Amino acid sequence: MTRAGTVAAFDRTTRRSGTIERLLADALALVDGFSTQSPVYDGLPSSLVDADFVPAAELNVRLFFQFWLDGNEPSEDDTRPLVERAVSLVHDGMPLDEVLRNYRTAVDFLWSQLPTTASPTGRAALAEIGRPLSEYLSLMTARIAVACVEDARRRPWDELERRRGIVDALLAGRDPVDWMGDPAVPVADAFVVTVIRPGDPGPGTLTDLRHRIHDLPGAFLRRDISGWTALIPIDPGGDSTAVIDQLSARLAPGFARETPPLLWIGVSPAPTRAAIPAALAEARVVAELGRCPTRSDIICRRQDLRMEYAVAVDASVRTELASVLEPLADQPVLAETLGVFFANECNQNAAARLLFVHRNTITYRLARIAELTGYDPQRPTEAMTLSAARTAQLLESKGFSA
């Protein structure tokens, strides 16, 4: 090939690479923008969409586009988080054919949406996607199927089914009499109910967490659309604090050191089996209270969030309190000042230092807040209302849902 031909071929390759990289960015934006509230995603089956959907989909997209670009199959290490996730879904009762069907459904969804945002060059490139996409799908479904078959050979599936029946009964407030009597699956009389809500986990994060909790003797887990629910036994004569400390220690490697946290765990003790449904409701609320304000602590307990809990559990109270701060909606400087003022225990000097203004400026702004809202942040009782209103506003803005 002549030098001119070589340069032209290089230019074509470069342009093709740039086009595919732009399509990759569009695909990642489509995944990152996922919301169950958006009609764009209405066609996705509910069993496909769980707390690990976004990081798993992002990894799938990146691996496929890399395969499309260079033609090299992703290694087994590359795809391990996706394969392990599929195996864990089968553990939780999802049939293997549904796991694989959901995989194809997600792929069909992405490639049906990409042409709507792609440039003319990108749409032309998508016409070439058939063969590499088919090869990638075949590779992934084969690896998932092989892993699930191998796992089935190693695991006693009747025990897994029994464990699922027990946890479903306990969480619903029923005595799991139909599943009792097997010494291989002991059922404690008291538990710490644990609800896991993810923040921005990477691929495989929730699977790793599941394994860590599953290894606790006598623990039960159930997957739900938002994360995981676990029942961790309290030994006879023991107390819930020791169990929670044990849970914290088990999660410390790889989770506790992340800032912000990868996830939040709401915990609530159930001293009897009959108390489990009420403890589950409480654990769900405190887990959400960790996620919505993005607390730095992974473990969330009601006793550490008494005021926030009181605001959170009553939707009408939450809405009413959030309305207190509506006069500050177009006053971002005042809203920021109020937040910094409360975060520094109502210390005006500290707030002034953090905001790089004179103390008198803080005093003026607080007076304006009192004038606009009717509540003076320098009066303790009125400051309590404003603080509760800020909590309510934050929860509403973060889509709090118990």
DSSP structural state of residue 295: -
User: CA 18 from chain center: how many Å?
Assistant: 32
How far is 369 from 389, CA to CA, in rounded Å?
13
Residue of 152, 11, 130 whose CA lies nearest to 64:
130
Name the pLDDT band for 1 (thresholds 50, 70, 90). very low
Name the pLDDT band for 10 (thresholds 50, 70, 90). very low
Domains of the chain and CATH, by start? 3-153 (1.10.490), 187-311 (3.30.70.270), 315-398 (1.10.10.2840)
pLDDT at 163: 79
Mean pLDDT of the chain: 82
More confident residue, 358 or 184: 358
How far is 237 from 252, CA to CA, in rounded Å?
26
pLDDT at 375: 95
Q: What is the DSSP string of 17-44?
A: HHHHHHHHHHHHHHHHT--TTSGGGTTS
Residue of 239, 236, 307, 293 whose CA lies nearest to 267:
239
20, two tokens: 């595919």
Lowest mean pLDDT among 259-263, 309-313, 346-350: 259-263
Tell me whether strands 220-224 and 299-300 are parallel, antiparallel or unpaired.
unpaired
- CA angle at 107 for the pair 102 and 112, rounded to the nearest 5°: 125
Residue range 252-272, pLDDT digits in tens: 555 555 566 677 889 999 999
Q: Is 196 helix (H, G, I), strand (E, B) or coil?
A: strand
Residue range 97-151, pLDDT digits in tens: 888 888 888 888 887 888 888 888 888 888 888 888 889 989 999 999 999 888 8
- The dihedral over CA atoms of 203, 206, 209, 213, expressed in degrees to the nearest 10, equals -150
Q: Is 117 helix (H, G, I), strand (E, B) or coil?
A: helix
Q: How many residues does the chain have?
A: 402
Residue range 57-79, pLDDT digits in tens: 889 889 999 998 888 999 999 99
pLDDT over 90 at 325, yes or no: yes
Residue of 223, 207, 83 whose CA lies nearest to 163:
223
Tell me whether strands 263-270 and 220-224 are parallel, antiparallel or unpaired.
unpaired
How far is 184 from 199, CA to CA, in rounded Å?
35
pLDDT at 4: 42
How far is 265 from 291, CA to CA, in rounded Å?
9
pLDDT at 55: 83
* Percentage above 90 pLDDT, the chain: 31
Name the pLDDT band for 35 (thresholds 50, 70, 90). low
pTM, rounded to two decimals: 0.66
Q: Alpha-carbon torsion 104, 108, 111, 113, what sign?
A: negative
Cβ pair 41, 48 in contact under 8 A: no
